[in-house]
Amino acid sequence: GVSIAVFASGSGSNFQSLVEVARQEHWPEQISLLICDRPGAKVLKRAQALDVESYALAPKSFAAKAKYEQAVLEILKQFQIRWIVLAGYMRLIGPTLLTAYSNRIVNIHPSLLPAFPGKNAIEQAFSYPVKVSGVTIHFVDEGMDTGPIIAQTPIEIAPEDTIETFAKKVHQVEHKLYPRVVYDLITGKISCPSLD
């Protein structure tokens, strides 16, 4: 049946959390595929340990972004993927994937968007320094960390926090919040506003 693909570039702690919760809770659609744009990333080891099929593609080895995304799209078709869940995928989604999966791509970002988009959002918020940052989950459009917001959780940066303790709080929130949002998405409890 149809299922979910996670796209990731790095450690993959959110990927692991999504796979584990989906299995524990017997979701009607499971995480059946990992797409990774960084051969050698730790997330590939996690996929192997969790017995999730994975593909590592190096975008640089393709003539253009569209060619890379066409290759990804072929894999997604093979696996009958219905949803794309970005979990630390540090690359903009281009028109090829956006058109094929319009309103079916979500992203998690470690700040209260629209504050601190882009890379190193945890470090950006900590060193600004703001007193509250957090986690945002949103539908993906052509922009960088833009698109309709689905859920946000604020997290305090306490005086005694270090970058490490604050980052740990962010990740703990992410690992709880993302599975809840993806579950609501696949079960139709939420949908992209532009679909309505």
- Active site residues per annotation: 109
Please identify which residue in 18, 112, 121, 150 interacts with ligand GAR, judged by CB under 6 A: 121
Residues 6+ apart with CB under 8 A from 168: none
Map residue 94 onto helix, strand or coil: coil
13 known member of a binding site = yes
Instruction: Check residue 182 for interaction with ligand GAR (CB under 6 A).
Output: no
Map residue 107 onto helix, strand or coil: strand
Choose the binding region for ligand GAR from 12-20, 51-59, 74-82, 147-155 (rule: CB under 6 A).
12-20
Q: CB-wise, 2 or 128, nearer to ligand GAR?
A: 128
98 near 142, Cβ under 8 Å? yes
Instruction: Check residue 8 for interaction with ligand GAR (CB under 6 A).
Output: yes
Instruction: Check residue 134 for interaction with ligand GAR (CB under 6 A).
Output: no
Interior/surface letters 162-181, b for 16+ CB within 10 angstroms, e for the rest: eeeebeebbbebbbebbbeb
Instruction: Check residue 109 for interaction with ligand GAR (CB under 6 A).
Output: yes
Helices (H), 5-143: 13-24, 42-50, 65-78, 95-100, 121-127
Instruction: Check residue 13 for interaction with ligand GAR (CB under 6 A).
Output: yes
Instruction: Check residue 179 for interaction with ligand GAR (CB under 6 A).
Output: no
Choose the binding region for ligand GAR from 92-100, 108-116, 148-156, 184-192 (rule: CB under 6 A).
108-116
Q: Which residues are annotated as a binding site?
A: 12-14, 65, 90-93, 107
